Structure 1
Amino acid sequence: MQEVQMDFAHFFGVGLGGQVGFQMAVDAPRKIRSLITAAAHPYPRLDEIKTLEEALVQLRSGNIQNYLQQWRSEEHLSLEQQENILKGNPQSQAIGLEACCRWEGVADQLESINISSLLFTCTSEPSFLSVREAGRRLKYGRYVILPKIVFSHGLWSTETIVEPMLDFIRKLRS
């Protein structure tokens, strides 16, 4: 945020980006006006660590095509998203995934986060209960449970999340 000279912004992060948002809410709370996340929670991904580490090995080997096939990416990524991943640098992708694997989370600091937070989840998401629990523990947090159908072809359906996001931001302004 310093690079682009942004201060006191609404932070929206998905997955690893959401983890970054939680960490910033703890380490640099004056930089964030609100925290909005999807497919992210403030806990370490202990239940997923074995799967993530297997994916990490594949990325480090440089065979992104096998990585996409093994993790059934066609079920949750569009063709365009798969093509973008294939064009990417596998070492850079591995570094991002490794950061996700090694992140210790901010569960112990949740009660100290004084930032308005909106967490999106859906019942088909593996970490549904973790997101819901985090939404309950955050002082100014709330969570939105989306229908199962929105978690398809990559990121969340914009038609479903835009309205709750705008409503959340409007309430912050009033």
Structure 2
Amino acid sequence: MRCPVDFVNVSTAGLESSPVASSLAGLRAHEARYFKNKYDFAFMVEPADKAKTIVDWVHHILKQERDIVIASPPIEAALVEVENLRWPYVFYQNGLAINVLYALDDPKRRAVGFKLCEGMEIPAELNIFKFARQKSKLAGIVRGSYFVIKGQY
């Protein structure tokens, strides 16, 4: 069942299995606030096992583009579809959030983004990336990186 993410009253519901659940909840709320403010879109998440299509699509792109396999189990996923963009998110138990910005009409606007919540180490499979820091009222210090998608999926 899909549930809206409340960015006013941040909750760890659905993220309890994460050792950094409160930081991950802040990161999830940070993303929800972005979509509400930018697109007036309600960010909805569901358990990863119920969103297998979304998780598999993201994992397929990671494997095909950079031979990346995420070691941590996914715990939640979301799919945002706005302004001809397909924008899936996967939140992982270790505190990692991955999103794929996939413009349906512009192959130059396609990228995979990684965000690390406060309190987690960079996963070994992502050591090849440099992470920039961003301060967020909801998520504390968020570290992020990305790569451009070359293929079509």
Q: Structure 2 length normalisation: TM-score?
A: 0.28
- Is the radius of gyration larger for structure 1 or structure 2? 1
Higher strand share: 2
Q: Structure 1 length normalisation: TM-score?
A: 0.26
